[in-house]
């Protein structure tokens, strides 16, 4: 459930042993909390939105802006009740050597190119629409009353990540070390394999 960011800022200040925000100002902690909320949202796909996107008979590549202004990541594309299969952009040529400009009677596949382009294959010779399921980019937290739009079970991870950023800014490496050991698992990331010693 969404909650105001003010109490979370207070909590981070206390956990970083800076309850009066002398080492890091309250505005700086809010900015770090805002950035950390984007990381947590991206790691867990916390805020999913389903929206309709019109397609054009001459287009096969669409900018994310055509879907919505706040797209972080596209998760699925549907035509009616049918999900389009997702593929890597580099594999489109394996589906069809002449995929660009290929026409068909219905959409079959989608791919994401870079961070801002959606490719739908094949194109249809008439206007239609698809439903796009995407992870929403969260709004920036500007004042203490702004809401953190993450599920309650993700707020402890958000607090830990923000606390780690505050400790890093304050160069308090002794307290930062244990947090850095916990964060990859908390964010659902596998820890990097240790480097083998050079022979």
Residue-wise pLDDT for 108-138, tens only, equals 999 999 889 999 999 999 999 999 999 999 9
Q: Which residue has the tokens 């008439």?
A: 126
Identify the weakest region by mean pLDDT among 112-121, 133-142, 143-152, 172-181: 172-181
| Statement: the pTM of the whole predicted model exceeds 0.85 | no
Determine the pLDDT at residue 175: 81
Q: Which residue has the tokens 């879907």?
A: 67
DSSP state for residue 198 in the 8-state scheme = P
Determine the pLDDT at residue 197: 45
Which class for 168: exposed (0-12), middle (13-18), buried (19 or more C-beta within 10 A)? middle
Q: What percent of the chain has pLDDT over 70?
A: 94
pLDDT of 139 > 90? The answer is yes
Distance, CA of 115 to CA of 52 (rounded, Å): 20
Dihedral sign for Cα 40, 45, 48, 54, please. Answer: positive
Q: What is the mean pLDDT of residues 157-180?
A: 86
Q: Which residue has the tokens 């505050």?
A: 166
- Sorted by where each begins, the domain ranges of the chain are 3-45+141-186, 48-136
Helical segments of 48-199, H only: 64-67, 92-95, 155-169, 173-186
Structure confidence by residue, pLDDT tens digits, 49-70: 999 999 999 899 999 999 999 9
Q: What is the mean pLDDT of residues 178-184?
A: 80
């Amino acid at each position: 459930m969404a909650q105001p960011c003010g109490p979370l800022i207070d909590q981070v200040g206390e956990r970083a042993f800076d309850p009066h925000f002398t080492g890091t100002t309250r505005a700086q902690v809010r900015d770090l909390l805002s950035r950390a909320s984007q990381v947590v949202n991206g790691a867990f796909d916390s805020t999913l939105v389903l929206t309709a996107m019109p397609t054009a008979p001459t287009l096969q590549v669409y900018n994310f802006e055509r879907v919505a202004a706040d797209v972080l990541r596209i998760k699925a594309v549907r035509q009616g009740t049918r999900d389009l299969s997702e593929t890597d952009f580099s594999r489109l040529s394996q589906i069809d050597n002449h995929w660009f400009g290929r026409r068909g009677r219905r959409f079959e596949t989608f791919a994401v190119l870079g961070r801002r382009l959606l490719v739908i294959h094949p194109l249809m010779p008439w206007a239609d629409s698809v439903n796009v399921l995407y992870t929403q980019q969260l709004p920036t937290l500007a004042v203490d009353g702004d809401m953190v739009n993450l599920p309650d079970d993700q707020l402890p991870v958000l607090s830990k990540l923000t606390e780690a950023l505050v400790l890093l800014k304050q160069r308090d490496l002794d307290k930062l070390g244990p947090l850095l050991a916990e964060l990859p698992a908390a964010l659902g990331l596998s820890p990097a394999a240790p480097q083998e010693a050079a022979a």
